């Protein structure tokens, strides 16, 4: 069995690693550093394996055009067969070994055409960037108003049940990056990637805009208790994400506008996603809700997990009443804990 380690690759059984640094082979012009190793099988004939760690910023990337895709999922399955994705759509770069595992989380409902465009557009770019990734589509059943941030919580929790992802990109299904220097990897700070968006004439709609596409390392999601579960309908949930970062003392960073460019096809208003009337009230107390409204109190029901060849599609239902009760209970539980641990009760 192959196992990655911080220095390279180990093979259990009768294999031993002979040299970590003596062999420096360049696989292609992109690679300037090498984590090559030579592995010798002592019991059978000699085997040599060279594995390089992928570079954080592979060069030779640039502008690329977004095209609508008119084919079927089957066409895409065939197109991507050469990359040999594992079931559920786990893609790995062929040229090198990537340390970070990326889960792309797409909150989704009733946008088949956009999803096909996304699945057609993204994997080639991500593989050029040498990213190891899986696309998770989280579809909320139609009973309740669309809740984008709750689905991001679900995507995070469900992805971690599948593998130990270390980087998460929360992505609108109708935003398509058009410069592949916009690297889909995480840094220690959260990153806002949708900087120059076509529908706003390739500008930010306002300076603090934090919507569309954000990249979070796992540790930061845990720190902010994920995202709020309360934003049913359109608007406000992305501003709430920004407020959470401020509570834990973090700032987000952005790529340069020439890189963070996104094509956005025009579409009509979504049924089932009316503008939220609650959003101002919720934003007003966003900072005080962070500890009990999030990953630690989300309630949902997984109705189906479809591991497709090139992505994973998770269907969920949300019982709004149950959810709101649970969030309240979490608040009470935390307040009780706080009271118990206060000095007056310790005497
Ligand atoms: C903002 C919305 C965001 C949305 C952007 C871009 C609100 C909260 C009240 C201030 N915020 O106004 O959710 O992503 O516009 O459309 O509505």
Q: Which domains does the chain have, with CATH numbers?
A: 4-48 (no CATH), 73-336 (3.90.550.10)
- Check residue 36 and give its pLDDT: 26
Q: Whose CA is nearest to atom 7 of ligand 1?
A: 236
Ligand 1 neighbours, Cβ below 6 Å, are 205, 211, 235-236, 238-239, 279-280, 283
Q: Whose CA is nearest to atom 17 of ligand 1?
A: 235
Integer Cα distance of 345 and 328 in angstroms: 23
Q: Say what the pTM is.
A: 0.85
How remote is the CA of residue 193 from the centroid of ligand 1, in Å? Answer: 17
- Check residue 20 and give its pLDDT: 35
Classify residue 73 as exposed, middle or buried by CB count within 10 Å of its CB (0-12, 13-18, 19+): middle
- Classify each residue of 249-276 as buried b or exposed e, where b means 16 or more C-beta atoms within 10 Å of its C-beta: eeebebbeeebbbbbbeeeeeeeebeeb
- Ligand 1 atom closest to 235 (CA): 13
Ordered mean pLDDT values, 10 residues apiece, the chain (347 residues): 39 35 30 31 39 74 87 98 97 92 97 97 94 98 96 98 98 96 94 97 96 98 98 97 97 96 85 92 96 98 98 98 97 92 71
Q: Which two tokens stand for residue 225?
A: 């208790």
- Check residue 63 and give its pLDDT: 79
The residues near 171 (Cβ < 8 Å, ≥ 6 apart) are: 104, 105, 106, 118, 212, 213
Integer Cα distance of 148 and 135 in angstroms: 16
- Check residue 41 and give its pLDDT: 34
- Check residue 230 and give its pLDDT: 98
Contact 181, 129 (CB under 8 A): no
Contact 170, 155 (CB under 8 A): yes
- Classify each residue of 296-317 as buried b or exposed e, where b means 16 or more C-beta atoms within 10 Å of its C-beta: bbbbbeeeeeeebbbbbbbbbe
Q: Which residues, listed in sequence order, are joined to residue 105 by a DSSP beta bridge?
A: 136, 170
Q: Whose CA is nearest to atom 6 of ligand 1?
A: 205
**What is the H or E stretch that residue 313 is in?**
strand 312-317
Mutate which of 238, 240, 273, 274 for ligand 1? The one with the most ligand atoms within 8 Å of its CB, which is 238
Handedness of CA 202, 206, 212, 218 (dihedral sign): positive
- Ligand 1 atom closest to 234 (CA): 13
φ, ψ for residue 327, nearest 5 deg: -65, -40
How remote is the CA of residue 276 from the centroid of ligand 1, in Å? Answer: 10
Q: Whose CA is nearest to atom 14 of ligand 1?
A: 211
Q: How far apart are the first and last CA of the chain?
A: 56
- Ligand 1 atom closest to 210 (CA): 14
Contact 301, 138 (CB under 8 A): no
- Check residue 59 and give its pLDDT: 60
Mutate which of 174, 236, 262, 274 for ligand 1? The one with the most ligand atoms within 8 Å of its CB, which is 236
- Ligand 1 atom closest to 205 (CA): 6
How remote is the CA of residue 283 from the centroid of ligand 1, in Å? Answer: 11
Report the chain's C-alpha Rg in angstroms: 22
Integer Cα distance of 46 and 54 in angstroms: 26
- Ligand 1 atom closest to 237 (CA): 13
Q: Tell me which residue of 143, 163, 303, 308 sits closest to 232, measured CA to CA.
A: 143
Contact 233, 298 (CB under 8 A): no
- Placement of tokens 């845990």 in the chain: 222
φ, ψ for residue 150, nearest 5 deg: -60, -40
- Check residue 342 and give its pLDDT: 79
Q: Tell me which residue of 251, 268, 160 sits closest to 214, measured CA to CA.
A: 251
């Amino acid at each position: 069995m192959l196992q990655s380690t911080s220095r390279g690759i180990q093979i259990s059984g009768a294999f031993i690693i002979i040299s970590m640094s003596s062999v420096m082979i360049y696989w292609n012009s992109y690679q300037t550093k090498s984590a090559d190793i030579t592995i010798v099988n002592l019991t059978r004939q000699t085997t040599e394996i060279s594995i390089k760690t992928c570079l954080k910023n592979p060069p030779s990337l640039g502008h690329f055009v977004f095209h609508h895709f008119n084919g079927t999922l089957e066409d895409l399955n065939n197109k991507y067969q050469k990359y040999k994705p594992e079931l559920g759509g786990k893609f790995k770069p062929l040229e090198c070994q990537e340390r970070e595992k990326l889960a792309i989380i797409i909150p989704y409902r009733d946008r088949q055409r956009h999803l096909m465009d996304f699945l057609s557009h993204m994997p080639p770019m991500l593989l050029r960037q040498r990213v190891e990734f899986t696309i998770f589509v989280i579809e909320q059943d139609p009973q309740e108003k669309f809740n984008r941030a709750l689905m991001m919580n679900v995507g995070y929790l469900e992805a971690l049940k599948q593998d130990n992802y270390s980087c998460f990109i929360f992505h609108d299904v109708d935003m398509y990056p058009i410069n592949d220097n916009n690297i889909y990897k995480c840094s220690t700070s959260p990153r806002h990637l949708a900087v120059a968006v076509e529908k706003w004439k390739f500008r930010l709609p306002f300076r603090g805009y934090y919507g569309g596409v954000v990249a979070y390392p796992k540790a930061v999601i845990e720190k902010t208790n994920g995202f709020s579960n309360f934003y049913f309908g359109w608007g406000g949930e992305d501003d709430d994400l920004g407020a959470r970062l401020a509570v834990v003392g973090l700032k987000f960073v952005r790529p340069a506008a020439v890189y963070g460019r996104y094509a956005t096809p025009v579409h009509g208003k979504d049924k089932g996603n009316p503008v939220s009337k609650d959003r101002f009230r919720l934003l007003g107390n966003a900072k005080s809700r962070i500890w009990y409204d999030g990953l630690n109190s989300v309630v949902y029901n997984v109705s189906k997990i479809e591991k497709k060849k090139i992505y994973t599609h998770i269907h969920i239902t949300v019982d709004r009443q149950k959810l709101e009760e649970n969030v309240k209970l979490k608040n009470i539980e935390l307040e009780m804990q706080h009271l118990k641990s206060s000095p007056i009760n310790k005497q």
